Structure formats: structure tokens, C-alpha cells
Amino acid sequence: MKRRRLVSAAAGWAVAAPAAQAAAGPPAVHAGGPIHLRLATAWPSNAAGAADMVLRFAQRVKALSGGQVQIEVLPADKSGVAPLALLDAVAKGEVDMAHATAYYWTQRSAGFNFFATVPMGMTANEHYAWLRFGGGLALWQQLAAQHGVVALPCGNTGVQMAGWFRRQLTGLESLKGLKLRFPGLGGEVLRKMGAVPVLLPAGEIKQALRDGRLDGAEWITPWPDLALGLHEVCDHYYYPGIHEPGHTLELLVHPPLWHKLGAAHQEILRTAGWLECIEMQAHFSHENAAHLAALQKLKNVQVLRLPNEVMREFRRLTPGVLREATASDALARQIHDSYTTYLRQQLRWAEMADRAYWQARYI
């Protein structure tokens, strides 16, 4: 793939290509023009919610910068970069930026999971608080730097659904041997329960369910799941998303580009990303309510609660899976300890705030 470079004459700079890429030629400079960035996403064009969010992010960055930073969004089905290859593509400068989820890089470090979502872990608001005020963001940036990228929070789905299954779950035994698209540490918990976790990007889920390579898959929530057509290949839709209670998404930036941007434009990217952690949740809440109602009218679909024994066993196994995953990596252990300590603190507050309110709501 040809290396695509950032251009800015307005700021009077251009990122120089390393010697190994010199054959591609120097970057073009257009005097007086804006900064042009190419952003590859992990989401196909039809990924409702995530695709909408990235376009909104790009529009907001353009507006906040007075048109000086312009982002071309390249969906997964058009960018030429496989979703699971985005980290390397950004680190090498093959694309300027990427929008993805940190748990796609779990083979590099289990620590990445804690910056996306952790089973039985923090809700979106709790995760936002940990990143903003609990030291989480500094740890994320430290880990990202080790792997050659700059990482910024950029969106959150809120709590998800547990996913689509080709046949009904009757209890723990019904999970044994099932091939399930469940990424991250949630997939590892299911492995302990006898299932076979599979990591596939969004664009491959429907066909894998159709041809039997998968027995079940989680994607996100009613809005994007219906857009992906998962109701056409599965009849059983489960809740709640105990594997993903609040999924933060990420913006990855090529480091030389980031350092050339300057403080003002860096702050615009940060601010737009943080705002999407709230804006995306609101958009999902709005659309999910309407799409759930539409989904419940489908004659072939049953919306079902996970069996209690499945949730109890999932909860019992989760702490051990988290410890095991981070045991051999010093930074991942530090991230795990920071995350779990902060979560315990938040749970004490939630007992008298969120949980107490929800209980009062149904008296």
C-alpha cells in the first residue's frame, strides 16, 4: 500500500517519509490549504452507529478548526486496510488515523482490553470517569506508545446486548462447543465456559452465521444489529451485555503526524473525541429504543434474557480470567490493578446512586 501523508501549508509543515519509503516521493504541499487527514475505520459503511459517529466526528473537527483540519473517512469496505490490521497501518504511517476498538489488539497486550470494555466491568460513565480523572488515560497512552501509536478516547456505545444465537440457550450445557464471535476478555470467559470464541470484524459476521462458521455472535445493540442484518440469520437475541457493559472506542494517530499538528489542533481532536463519548451514547439510546420496538415485532425473533446460571458462572469466572490474562505483562497488570481498584470505588457509590435509583424506579 502506498504511504499516504498528511499535508499542511497553513501550518507550514509536512511529515517526512522515512528512508524505506522514499520511493513514494515527497508529500505535496499546497500553500494556504487545510490539513488533510485520511482516517480508516474498523467499521463497514453499513455499520449504523459507529459509521455515523465517525462522520460526525470528522464534521465537528472541521467546524472547530475553522476548516483547517479536514478528515476523509474511509470505511472498512473502502479503505483497503483490514480492521484487525489498523494498529500496524497507523504505526507505519500507511494511514494517518484509524477509528477502532482497543480490544482488537489484545494479542499484543491484554492491557488493551481495559480501554475498550471488560466483562462485568465499568459502565460507560464509570469508564469515562476512570479515563478522565482516575489515571486511566495516562496508562492507555503509555501502552499505545509502546505499540507505535497515539490513542484517544472517541465514542462509547453504552451497555450492549449479549448477542445473536442460532438456537436457544437453555443453560450452561447449551454453550458447550458453540463457535461464538465474542472478542476480548468476554470471549476468554466464554472459553472457560466451554464455548469457542472467534474474532471476526463486523463485515464478516452475517455470512459466518449464515454458513455455519459461527453459532452465535455479539455485535452491539438493536440499531446497528438490525442494520447489519443479523436478524436475517438468527432467531434468538439475548440481553444483557455482561461482556460489554460500556464500550469505549478509540482514535489512533500516527505519532509523527500528531507531534506536527500543534497544540491547538491536538486539542480539537481530543475535545471532539471526548464529546463523542457522550454524544454517541445519546445517539445510541435514542435509536436503540425505536429499533428494539421494531425488532420485537419481527415474527422470527425472540428477545430473551440470558439464563441466570449462565450469568452467575460468567460473573464467577471473570476475575480469574482478568488476572490470568495480565499475569505475564507488567504494564497490563498495572492497568488491571488501576481499573479494578477504581471499579470497586465506583461500585460503592453506585449502590447509593444508580442502583438505588433503578430500584426506586420499579417500586
Indicate the burial class of 114 (C-beta count within 10 angstroms; 0-12, 13-18, 19 or more). Answer: buried
Return d(Cα 343, Cα 117) in angstroms, integer.
Answer: 12
Under 8 Å between Cβ of 4 and 37 = no
Cα–Cα distance measured from residue 111 to residue 106, given in angstroms and rounded to the nearest whole number: 7
The answer, yes or no, to whether residue 1 has pLDDT greater than 80, is: no
Q: Is the pLDDT score of 94 beyond 70?
A: yes
Q: Which of 195, 247, 191 is nearest to 219 (CA)?
A: 247
Residue 101: pLDDT above 80? yes
Collect all residues with Cβ–Cβ distance below 8 Å to 193 and sequence separation of at least 6: 172, 175, 176, 310, 313, 314, 317
pLDDT in tens, 303-326: 999 999 999 999 999 999 999 999
How far does Cα 194 stand from its chain's mean position?
25
Residues 6+ apart with CB under 8 A from 71: 37, 38, 39, 57, 58, 61, 62, 97
* pLDDT above 70: percentage of residues in the chain: 91
What are the tens digits of pLDDT across the range 170-199? 999 999 999 999 999 999 999 999 999 998
Is residue 203 scored above 60 in pLDDT?
yes
**Which residue's C-alpha cell is 465517525?**
54
Structure letter (DSSP) for residue 242: T
Residue ranges of the alpha helices (H) in the chain? 50-64, 76-79, 86-92, 124-133, 136-146, 184-192, 202-210, 222-228, 255-261, 263-296, 308-326, 330-352, 354-361
Region 195-223: mean pLDDT is: 95
**How many Cα neighbours within 13 Å face the side chain of 2?**
8
Q: How far apart are the first and last CA of the chain?
A: 60
Q: What pLDDT score does 117 carry? A: 97
Question: 35 is written with which cell numbers?
Answer: 490539513
Q: What is the pLDDT of residue 33?
A: 76
pLDDT at 201: 87
The residue to which cell 467546524 is assigned? 63
Confidence of residue 202 (pLDDT cuts 50, 70, 90): confident
Within 13 Å of residue 331, how many CA atoms lie on the same side as its CB? 17
Task: Evaluate whether 100 touches 83 at the Cβ level (below 8 Å).
Answer: yes
pLDDT at residue number 34:
92
pLDDT of residue 32: 53
- Give the bridge partners for 239, in sequence order: 305
Q: Which long-range contacts (CB under 8 A, 24 or more apart) does 129-136 make?
A: 129/342, 129/346, 130/338, 130/339, 130/342, 130/343, 130/346, 131/248, 132/274, 134/338, 134/342, 135/338, 135/342, 136/338, 136/339, 136/342
Query: What domains are there in the chain, each with its CATH number?
Result: 7-16+28-159+248-285 (3.40.190.170), 163-245+294-350 (3.40.190.10)
